[in-house]
Amino acid sequence: MGNSDHTLSNYFSRSSSILLLAPSHQSPDDKACIDLLTQDQPSETNVLSVTLSASPSERLSVWQREAGNELPTRATIIDGRREMTKANLPTSEAGTISVRGLPREADLFDLSISIASQLGEWQSTDETTSLCLHSVTALLATYDAERVVDLISALNDLCERFSVTAHHHIDPDKHDEEMLAMLRPLYDAVIEYTPEDGWIPTESVTMTTKPSFRSTVTPPGGVSKIDPDHPETVPMRYSFETLLDLLSPPRRRTLLYHLKNQPDQVIPLDRLAEEIHDIDRSLPIRDSSSPEDIRNELLDCHLPSLQEAGIAKYDANSETVHYTQNQGLESFLQYIETIELG
């Protein structure tokens, strides 16, 4: 079944994860990508573009060629290439484009945290958010298939929770049928381009359990990248998905950064809210909510999540927060804090 670009953008409505099968960096691939990113008007959209092969300027040129010069309200390009070069990207009344690089020795975990933190920052905005990952082919050329599958599963779950419309590119000419068959069930929908029939859209069969190479997950909390004197790996008891969920909201990251540095593990809630407020005021990337608003946010959102994960709990009688030390989590948090705040 052939499809026009307009039909393509409406076929899947708001599927949270779409696999886009087309030869990379060719016209059908580019047109479909921008079509999926512009299901809403740019002024009503946040766009997160993750590029692993082309430069940010090259990805921007695809947008300009297919969608014109109007930028989304918010747009960020995560440059995950091994060899990054700085690029000056334009601004407009509609918004600006920021570029986020990764550490030189970054791996899949660094990439996933960068994606999750950006989506978390946009979670409370009025605009819809769209994610483009370009491409799975580039990931499979660098990492083992099982690790890539785990990353895809975690990101798709995150996008579903955040109501993000995401599509991932893959070049079918670079992979055998066995690999493609393994990837297809990970997505809500698949659209595949063939020269004979154009775009062929299919919806994946709903599965209670998506394919994974892991039954349980214990991602490393190693400190080797930030503490060369202690190169050992510290075991982590949290799953990959749990860590992404915990660290997505910016204020929760601030809270965790602060908790891990406390000399004692019992903190009055009012004092904690004041301290988080002071930290946020010093960071241009954070909003400056009042201590009272932060206190309510901690009670309603962040502390329940941390209590469920066994990291901290709130005692309503004494109005104190009890933090449980965790060497693996704290090593990981130190690394993420270094990436985010320098």
pLDDT in tens, the chain (342 residues): 344 444 555 555 556 799 999 998 888 899 999 999 998 899 999 999 999 989 999 999 999 999 988 899 999 999 998 765 555 565 544 456 888 888 878 889 889 999 999 999 898 899 999 999 999 999 999 999 999 999 999 999 999 989 999 999 999 999 998 899 899 989 988 989 888 878 887 765 443 344 433 333 333 344 333 344 444 444 556 677 778 888 888 889 889 989 988 866 789 999 999 999 888 887 766 666 899 999 999 999 999 989 888 888 899 999 999 988 877 788 788 878 877 776
Q: Tell the burial category of 38 from Cβ atoms under 10 Å away from its Cβ (0-12, 13-18, 19+).
A: buried
Helix 108-122 with 250-259: angle, nearest 10 deg: 120
Q: What is the pLDDT, as a whole number, of residue 13?
A: 56
Q: What is the pLDDT, as a whole number, of residue 304?
A: 92
Place of tokens 């895809």: 152
Ranges of CATH 1.10.10 domains, the chain: 240-341
Q: Please state the CATH superfamily assignment of the domain spanning residues 5-203 in this structure.
A: P-loop containing nucleotide triphosphate hydrolases (3.40.50.300)
What architecture is domain 240-341? Orthogonal Bundle (1.10)
Ranges of CATH 3.40.50.300 domains, the chain: 5-203
Rama region for 319: left / alpha / beta (φ>0; ψ in -120 to 50; rest): left
Q: How far apart are the C-alpha atoms of 218 and 234, rounded to whole Å?
A: 10
Q: Is the entire prediction scored with pTM above 0.75?
A: no
Q: What is the pLDDT, as a whole number, of residue 236?
A: 55
Do 99 and 77 meet the contact criterion of CB atoms below 8 Å apart? yes
